[in-house]
Structure 1
């Protein structure tokens, strides 16, 4: 086997262990993550040593000879040395072994441009390298979930300030109304205005709370989903939808991937031709609502205060969808 250079050793940030082990077991006829080695050495040879008085000469194996006076010694040693060692494979080391096999046997089909999709069929093992763009809806909701407590606190403070101003304005309005008959005739409608303002504050408060609760509920649904759709774009401009399992994908994994370029090895599950598309919000209620709803929601989140650089949640063909075994650098 050709020696693998350090720069060629893959570091997986996402690894589907069961898929990887099943592939490797098929190629190797089984997989062991632990290996025990026993090494035995035996020998017989003439030894010679010369040292000064009081010096201790370390001999081969476990035999020691102490020289009591200046001079030389000659002896024949019969020695035996036995050592045992246990080697443990990690998931990453096993993946590197499998990756090496697949590369050496030309079992990985590189995919980089739309031209590479010709004759590509579901089930084929491919390797792509591209920039991580994430999932725009998930990224936006994750951002909102992190700042919502601050927004809610700010809105609560604004409502309290508005209500306090309203309470102070009402007595002054009542004092200015003067003659009750004139008030009844509609010559001074300030009281009605204040009531309308109070109703508007209550309605806005209810609406804001409901909207925030809906966003948080949507984020909870996405967070607990068994699968997540991620978008990568290759150097050749090909959009790639990567469907990762929540069992191996975490917040730490997402942080590793953020704004980086990675390689992906996996199996093709769908080739998306020109004229077809994939909605990255399909695992939420927005997927049922249709593409325009997902786009409108994300457009509404792009404000002067928040500069969110989000990709289009609708991935148009030509593109490819992959079930990844590993995402690595």
Structure 2
């Protein structure tokens, strides 16, 4: 197969797979060759007519010595090269399948896009201070009453803190989520989790957004048609919603619980105009070992 150039690597996953597949790994090998020294000595007796006539002998000694040469070659194994060896071995042993079952290695081609809520938070963090500053400088010129404007600006810091809390909450697991889109249909068919413990999440997002890549990893969850895959499972929004639902469920007022569920269902389409909350099955969630071009 063609060589894959990784733009993102889950180093732990690559090393663990390599250690198992190859019964241990070496990142450096050394080769040595030595040429031993050679020495020759020859004795010659003078046999010329003059030497014989005079009865004089001559002893000649010649010495030859070759230099000792040492050749040292060091081969280094890069993480990208090791990744390719792992991929080749997984394919050879048919560990990479198309079954998309939990725990199964898979290889997919997809266009990557950040989860909407992460994009929304990034946008708000960037734009909120600018909006506040504009309102401070030109709010009254826009026709906003001074008393109303002052009351609104009282919420400046709390709003900014909430937005920052959402971002920190989202990234506390050191997992960056991105949507998998089909290049042919433009439909989202899955979510990929990227371990960003050793990366800058914003740098990874910028590098992988809006391009078609080859993603290799393991399936962690699969939902069938008729079900949906949540995109806010790792945010405090999911926790708040679950607590509210439990509180409503244990109340004695069945009518209020049904009203709550209906109101959430009616609001969801409007929220999803700005922020996608889930994707419809069939879909799956996977943990990436690599994202390559």
TM-score (norm: length of structure 2): 0.71
Deviation for aligned residue 1:214 = 2.3
| Residue of structure 2 aligned with 1:9, choices 3, 6, 11 | 3
Q: Which residue of 2 aligns with 1:158?
A: 138
Call closer, same or farther: CA 1:248–1:131 in 2, change over 3 Å. farther
Q: 1:53-202 counterparts in 2 under 5 A?
A: 78=66, 80-110=68-98, 120-159=100-139, 161=140, 197-202=145-150
Instruction: From 20, 31, 35, give the equivalent of 1:26.
Output: 20
Superposed, 1:38-53 pairs within 5 Å as 38-41=32-35
Give matches, 1:247-262, under 5 Å. Answer: 247-249=197-199, 250-262=201-213
What SS does the aligned partner of 1:109 have? Answer: coil
Q: Please report how far the alpha carbon of residue 24 of structure 1 lies from its aligned counterpart in structure 2 after TM superposition.
A: 0.8
User: Do the aligned partners of 2:229 and 2:283 also contact (CA within 8 Å) in 1?
Assistant: no
The 1:271–1:251 alpha-carbon spacing in structure 2 relative to 1, beyond 3 Å, is same
| CA distance 1:297–1:286, change in 2 (3 Å) | farther
Instruction: Give the superposition deviation at 1:222.
Output: 2.1
Write out per-residue CA displacement over residues 82-116 of structure 1, whole angstroms, 9 at most, x where no aligned residue: 21122222221211111122233333224xxxxxx
Once residues 188 and 134 of structure 2 are traced to their aligned partners in structure 1, the CA distance between those partners, rounded to angstroms, is 43
Cα deviations by residue, 1:179-203 (Å, 9 ceiling, x for unpaired): xxxxxxxxxxxxxxxxxx4432233
Kept in 2: contact 1:130–1:232 (CA 8 A):
yes
- 2:281 matched residue in structure 1: 317
Please report how far the alpha carbon of residue 208 of structure 1 lies from its aligned counterpart in structure 2 after TM superposition: 5.4
Aligned counterparts of 1:295 and 1:262: Cα–Cα separation in 2 = 30
From 195, 203, 212, the equivalent of 2:151 is 203
- TM-score, normalization: structure 1? 0.64
2:165 corresponds to: 217
- Shift of residue 295 of structure 1? 5.8
Tell whether the 8 Å contact from 1:134 to 1:232 is kept in structure 2 after alignment: no
CA contact (8 A) 2:169 2:236 kept: no
Between the two proteins, the alignment pairs up a number of residues equal to: 243
Deviations 1:251-280 (A, max 9, x none): 221111111011111111111111211221
2-structure distance, mates of 1:238, 1:274: 13
SS in 1 for 2:4: coil
Give per-residue Cα distances to partners, 1:97-146, cap 9 Å, x unaligned: 11122233333224xxxxxx5xx421111111101122111012112212
CA distance in 2, matches of 1:28, 1:205: 62
Q: Could you tell me how far apart the structure 2 residues matched to 1:294 and 1:323 are?
A: 28
State whether residues 217 and 290 of structure 2, in contact with CA within 8 Å, keep that contact through their aligned partners in structure 1: yes
- Residue matched to 2:43: none
1:268 to 219, 222, 225: 219
| Backbone CA RMSD of aligned residues | 3.1
